[in-house]
């Protein structure tokens, strides 16, 4: 009888272990904070299809890690267009980033400034703006 109870107990434990779901992936850890404080051209300016545009961003940040990077990412809904990255150290500061791209035939251009700690693969610390795109 003891063996039978033990066998049932082992079977139940094994079966309950199979029903466990894997843990969810970890959420990105905050690297601090980031904010676009200046952007040229201003977002009230529509960008023309085919035009070569230089975007200049001034970004204020607070990095919690020892080292990291702030990036200027420019993309349309279809693809990435350009980016620039600047290495930064722990603490508060400002960074000036710029990049150039040709405006594709799309409805809008998005600009993102993610902040990442060194070695961090994903981040939720980001600021963004968007531009309307005007036809040729």
**String of DSSP letters for 102-133:** EPPSSSEEEEEEEEEETT-S----EEEEEEEE
Q: Which residues contact 105 (CB under 8 A, 6 or more apart)?
A: 49, 133, 135
pLDDT score for 114:
97
Could you tell me the two tokens for 86?
A: 């600047």
Give percent above pLDDT 90 in the chain: 71
**pLDDT bucket at 118, cuts 50 / 70 / 90:** very high
- pLDDT on residue 69: 97
pLDDT computed for residue 10 by the predictor: 47
Domains in the chain (CATH in brackets) are 31-134 (2.60.40.10)
Of 75 and 24, the one with more pLDDT: 75
The angle at the Cα of 31, spanning 84 to 23, to the nearest 5 degrees, equals 115
- Where is pLDDT greater, at 101 or 120? 101
Summarised one tens digit per residue, pLDDT across range 35-88 is 999 999 999 999 999 999 999 999 999 999 999 999 999 999 899 999 999 999
């Amino acid at each position: 009888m003891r063996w039978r109870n033990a066998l049932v107990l082992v079977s139940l434990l094994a079966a309950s272990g199979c029903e466990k779901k894997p843990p969810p992936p970890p959420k990105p850890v905050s690297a601090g904070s980031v904010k676009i404080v200046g952007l040229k051209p201003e977002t009230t300016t529509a960008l023309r299809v085919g035009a070569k545009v230089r975007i200049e961003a001034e970004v204020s940040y607070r990095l919690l890690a020892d080292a990291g990077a702030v990036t200027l990412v420019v993309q349309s809904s279809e693809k990435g267009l350009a980016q620039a990255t600047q290495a930064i150290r722990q603490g508060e500061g400002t960074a000036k980033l710029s990049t150039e791209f040709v405006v594709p035939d799309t409805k809008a251009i998005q600009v993102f400034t993610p902040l990442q700690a060194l070695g961090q693969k994903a981040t939720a610390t980001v600021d963004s703006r968007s531009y309307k795109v005007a036809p040729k």
